[in-house]
Amino acid sequence: MKRFFYLILIFLALWMAACAPQGFEKTQFGLKTIVDSTEIEIQFFSPKIARVLKSKTGFDFEKQSLAVIKGPEPIELKTEAKGDEVVVSSSDVSVHLNLKTGKVSFYTLTGTSLLNEKEDGAQFIPVKDVDEDSYVVSQSFVLDQDEKVYGLGQFQDGKMSQRNQELYLLQDILITAIPMLQSDKGYGLYWDNYSPTYFTDTEVETSFRSTVGDCVDYYFMYGENADGVVAQMRELTGQVPMFPYWTYGFWQSKERYKSQDETLGVVKKYRELGVALDGIIQDWQYWGDNYHWNAMEFLNPEFPQPQKLVDEVHDLNANIIFSIWSSFGPQTKPYKELDENNMLYDFKTWPLTDKNVWPQPNDAAPSGVRVYDAYNPEARDIYWKYLNQGIFKLGVDGWWMDSTEPDHFERVDSDYNQKTHLGSFRKFRNAYPLLTVGGVYTHQRETSTEKRVFILTRSAFAGQQRYGANSWSGDVQTDWNVLRNQISAGLNFSLCGIPYWNSDIGGFFTGRFPGGVENKAFHEIYVRWLQFGTFCPMMRSHGTDTPREIWNFGKKGDWAYDAIEKFINLRYRLLPYTYSTSWDVTANNSSMMRALMMDFASDKKALDIDNQFMFGKSILVCPVTEPMYVKAKHEDNKYTDAKEDFSSVRSTNVYLPAGAQWFDFWTGEKMDGGQEVEKETPIDIMPLYVKAGSILPWGPEVQYASEKKADDMEIRIYPGADGEFVLYEDEGDNYNYENGVYSTITFKWDDDRQTLSIADRQGEFPGMLTERQFHLVLVNETSGTGLAESAPVKTLIYSGKAVSEKL
C-alpha cells in the first residue's frame, strides 16, 4: 500500500513537471526559450521596438533583413516570471511570453493591452523551396472588435481601414505590397518576410501567412499615435532624405514624347504661355527598338543630341528626368555583360514577345527582354556603370524607374524557382523594388552629391523611404471611382512610413473616355484629378492615348484651361509651406499626406474616412470625385455624348474633424469641427479648409520654383487657437543640409494675446536672405483668401532677430 502511494506521488511529480512551464534564458537584448519544439526569441531594438523571432528547433538558417537596417540595442530591461508567463519590460512597453503556449502579448506599462497573439498562432508547414527545406510560415493575432488597422502598402480598393478582408501581398503593376500595418491603438507591426503573403482579417483572427520562410519574424512598434508609429518604422528601416526644391513644382509627362524636339517644345510652350513648370519627363524608347530596350544609350535617331536636349531644358530653367527599367533588350551592352555573368532572369516581362502586342513594332519582335538580378550587388554595379556612362553624365536631374516591381506575367513555379543572388525568386520576390531602387540611390550618392537623388518609381517595399524615391500608383484607368480610390491607396501607403507618393493626373489609360481631349467629360475628370494632384507630394500630369499639356484643354478663358492654371499657380504659392513640410518629414518623421486618423484620433467619425486627408498639418483636402458639370452617357464602361451644363453650382459634402475650428480656404469663413458641411464646388474650386491656429507662408507667383527669392513673403495666420510653424530654407539642392547648412525661422501665434512672435533665425546657408519683408495677414471673411492678394494687417522687416507683433 505504501509502495503504491509512493508510485502515485512519483507519477504526480512527473506529470506536474511535464505540465510546468519551461525555463527561459535572459539575453543581452531580451530573452529566449523553447516551447514545444519552437524556439522563441524576443529582442529589443529600442525601448519602443521589440522583435519576435520564432523558428523550429534544429533548423539552421541565417536571417539578414533586407528592410531593417537598425540592430538590437542593449537597453535597461526588467524581467520577471509571473506564473506561466515571463514578462520583459523596457521603459515604454511590456512583452509577455507564455512559457506553456508560446503566446506573445504586448502591453503598456500601465497594463493596457495593445496586441495579442492567438493561442497556437504560429504555424510552420514544411515545404521545399526549390532544393532547400523551408516552411510556409504564419502568425495569427487577435484584435479588438472595434480596432482599426491601416497600411499594408497600396491597394486600390477604396478602403481606408484594412479590417474584414483578405489581401494578397504580391508586387504588381497596381499593387505595392508592404507587410506593415498600424493600429488606431498606437502600435505598428512589420512582418519581415519578402515572399508572396496573405493578410487575412476575420472576426476570429488577423494573420500573416507567407509562401516561404525560415522563421516567423516580426517587429512590434509602440508609437502611442500614428506619427509615433511612422517614427519607429523609420528608425527601424531608414530615415527620409530631402528632395530638391524644384521637385515640388509642376511636372509634365506623357507616354511618350517621340523626339527631343517634341520634348523641348513642351517646355518652350509652357514658358511662352506663362504657365509654371519645373519638370519634364522623357519616357521610353529614346533608346530605339525593343531589341535595345533600356540600352541606357540614345540610339533612336529622333534623339541625336541628348546633351543638347538636357542643356536646353536647363537653359529654360526646367529639369528633366529619363525613364529607365529593370530589364534589358538582348542587343544592349548591359544585357550582354549581365548575361555573361548569369545575372538575368528567364520569365515573361514587358515588353512581351508577341509581335502583335503593343507597343512593339513588328520588326522588333520577339523582344527577348529580360529582368536583371537586382539582389546581386555586382549586378547593381553593372547597372549603374552603364547608367552613369550613358545618361547621368549628361547632367540629368533624376530617374523614372519604371517596372520596379518588376513586370512578371505568368507567375508559374518555374519562374519563382529561379535562383537570385540571395536565394529563390519566390523567397525574395516582394523586396525587388527595394534593391533595384536602392542600387541607383546608393551609386549616385557615391558618384556625386551635387544633385539630390530623385527617383520616381512604380513600386516600393518597406524601407524604401531611405532611397530618395517617390512612388506612383501605376497605370490606372481614367475613371471617377479610380480617382476616388487613389486617395485611400496613397494614405495607406504613407502610413507604412514612406511619405512620397502620387498618381498619374488624369489616369494613365483614357479608353473609357473615347475621343480623349475632344471629350469634354475627360476635361472634367482631368481638372478634378489635377486638383487632387496639387496636394500630393508630387504633382505630375501623365498618361497614354491622350495628351495632357494645358493647351490641349483650350486657351485662357476656357473653363478647363483656367481651372488647370489656377491650381498650378496654387501649387507654387504653397511652395514655402510644402518645402517646410518636407523638412518636417526628414527632421521629425512627419508625413505629407496624412490620413485623418493621424491628427484626429479621438474623433471616431474621422477614423475611416477614405476621401479626405490633411496635406501637412494645416490643410484639409477633400477632392471632388464625381462628375458635376459634364453630363455623359455611361454605357459599357465608356463616357460618351458629353454635354456641358454649368447652369447651376453643385456642392460636395465635407466632414470637418472634431477638436478644431476650420477656415474655408477660399472664403475665410470660420466653422466648428465635428460636423459635415456642404461646400459649393464650381469647376475651379476643390474644398480646402485650414485648421485654426495654422500659420501659412505664401510664396510669390513664379514660372518655376527658384525664379524669385521669397524676400517679400505673405504670412497668413488663421486665428482661433495657438499655433506654430517652422519655415525651412536651404540651397534647394545638394546634401549640404545634412551638415547643418540650412536655416529655420519659427513663427508662433498666441491666440489669447493675438500676437505673432518670430524667433531668431537659426542657421545659415550660401545665398540666404539676410533681410526680408513679412506681410502679416489675419485671415477672416473680409481678408484676401484663396489665390487673391491679401491686405496685410502689418508689414515688418525681418533681419534674423526675434520680433513680436500684436495684430
Question: Which residues are part of the catalytic machinery?
Answer: 402, 405, 475
Hey, how many other C-beta atoms are within 10 angstroms of the C-beta on 606?
22
Q: State how far the Cα of 420 lies from the Cα of 406, in Å rounded to an integer.
A: 14
Phi, psi dihedrals of residue 202, rounded to the nearest 5°: -130, 180
Q: State how far the Cα of 401 lies from the Cα of 399, in Å rounded to an integer.
A: 6
- Considering only CA atoms, give the Rg of the chain: 28
State the DSSP code for 770: S
Q: State how far the Cα of 54 lies from the Cα of 781, in Å rounded to an integer.
A: 61
Residue 458 identity (one-letter amino acid): R
Q: State how far the Cα of 81 lies from the Cα of 94, in Å rounded to an integer.
A: 13
Helix (H) or strand (E) holding 153: strand 149-154
3-state DSSP call for residue 333?
A: helix
- Reduce the secondary structure of 621-679 to three states and give it as a string: ECCCCCCCCEEEEEECCEEEEEEECCCCCCEEEEEECCCCEEEECCCCCEEECCEEEEE
322 forms beta bridges with 282, 399
DSSP states of 99-130? TTT--EEEEETT--EEEEEEEEEEEEEEEEET
Which residues have a Cβ under 8 Å from the Cβ of 193 and sit 6 or more positions away? 137, 179, 208, 210, 213, 217
Cell, residue 104: 506573445
Helix (H) or strand (E) holding 691: strand 688-691
Hey, how many other C-beta atoms are within 10 angstroms of the C-beta on 481?
11
